[in-house]
Structure formats: structure tokens, C-alpha cells
Amino acid sequence: MQTNFFTSFSIKRVFLGLAFVIGVGYFTIFGFPFSKVKSINVIHIVPVGNSATGSVEQLQQILNEEFPSITTSIEETMNIPQGAFDVERNQYNAVILLQELNKLPYTQSENIIGITPFALFTPDLNFVFSSTKKKVGIFTTLYLQYKVQGEQMVFDPNIDGNLVQERIQKTVMRMVGAMAGIRPRLFGDYKCVMRFSNSLEDLDAKGTEWCGNEREKVLKAQGL
């Protein structure tokens, strides 16, 4: 009886483990269909540090094209807060920048996208193209004109302008999707814009499609 009990218990544990792995895998690949949709009416674009005006205007243009029902406005430059720069990494902590952006007066009811030319990181990632938390996001333009050379990213002054535009589009769409309450896809189809980009190659390879019920959620977030 003892052997049968432990055998049965072990089998149950295996099935529960498999169910958990399958469940996590499903939602990771196909997204979270039950996540709550959050309204987005206004996005304030805030330059963080010495940001190039052209990039800010380009960001606004893409937002207006992709999300015509959302009002956008370019705000005054926000200074880099003390403690954001990590000397050892030679990067800026995106978490600290998000916290500073969140202190701006219009964050309670409206959304913010900060744009900066500096390298960003989060405590769990070596570098990030962008980072979003609730109504606030931060986006770096640093890698827009980079290319992959061997195992490194290097600046390319002759990079195709259409590629730069596409990189901004994908990053901004994913940020707005996150603000709308859509969970990121860590794996899955590369056509999905909410797919996580772990490298410049990942960013260039993925598409600009809303997958599953994501388009419905984005439209609902805009009140459509």
C-alpha cells in the first residue's frame, strides 16, 4: 500500500508539473487573454537628458500614425536624476528614470514616454531598448543606428533610414501595448510586435502585428 501511495503521489506531481509548464508556455507564447485593458487617452513625450529633437518628433509621428485616437504632446526636457547613472556599467538605470518620470504631474491620469539617447539597463537585463511600467515608459534612441558585427553592436552612420523608422515603430508599439495592459510574449511567432527582443537581431527580425486578441485590446484602450 505504501508503494502504491508514493507511486500515485509521484505521478500526480509529474502531471501537475507538466500542466504548470504547459500553462506557462502557452501564456508566454500566445499572451495573456484575460489581462485587464487600461485606457490610454493622452501620451506625453518627455525628452530625458540631451535628446535629439529629430528623434522626439519622429517618435510623435509614429505614435500619431499607429494610434490616431491618442493625443500626443512633446514636453520640456527632464534632467537625469542623481543616482541613475551606473559608473561601472556606463549605463543609466531605467528603473530610476521611470520613477522620476512617474513624479511628473500628469502621470496620474495620462501616460508618458520618456526618450533618451543614453544606454539603459534594468537590474535583471544587461541592456534594454525600452522599459515600461504601468502608465510610464522610457525608450533609448542609442541603438537605432547600430548594426550587429560579430557578437557586438557597432554604430553605422550609413544605416538605412527605413530600418531606423521600423525599429522605433516596433519599440513604441510594444510600449503602448504594455501600457494598455497587454503582457509581453517572451517567445512565439516573430510576426508579433509584443514579442520580447533580447538583441538587435531579435528587434529587426520580429514583425509589427498584433496577435491573438491584442488588436481588440489596443482599440478598446483607445475607446474604439
CB neighbourhood size of 209 (10 A): 15
- Residue 108 structural domain: 42-221
- The residue assigned the cell 482599440 is 219
pTM: 0.82
**24 domain residue, yes or no:** no
**168 domain residue, yes or no:** yes
Tell me the CATH number at 112: 3.40.390.10
Strand 152-155 relative to strand 125-128: parallel, antiparallel, unpaired? unpaired
- The residue assigned the cell 485616437 is 69
**5 domain residue, yes or no:** no
Per-residue pLDDT tens digits for 174-193: 999 999 999 888 777 889 99
How many angstroms separate the CA atoms of 160 and 4, rounded?
Answer: 66
Q: C-alpha 220: how far from its chain's center?
A: 19
191 in Cβ contact with 170 (< 8 Å): no
**46 domain residue, yes or no:** yes
The residue type found at 24 is: V
**31 domain residue, yes or no:** no
Find the mean pLDDT for residues 82-109.
92
**33 domain residue, yes or no:** no
Exposure class string for 94-107: b at 16+ Cβ within 10 A, else e: bbbbbebbeebeee
**144 domain residue, yes or no:** yes
**100 domain residue, yes or no:** yes
The grid cell for 196 is 520580447
Provide the domain count of the chain: 1
40 in Cβ contact with 70 (< 8 Å): yes
State percent of the chain over pLDDT 90: 67
Per-residue pLDDT tens digits for 24-74: 444 444 455 556 889 999 999 999 997 666 789 999 999 999 999 999 999
Which DSSP state fits 99? H
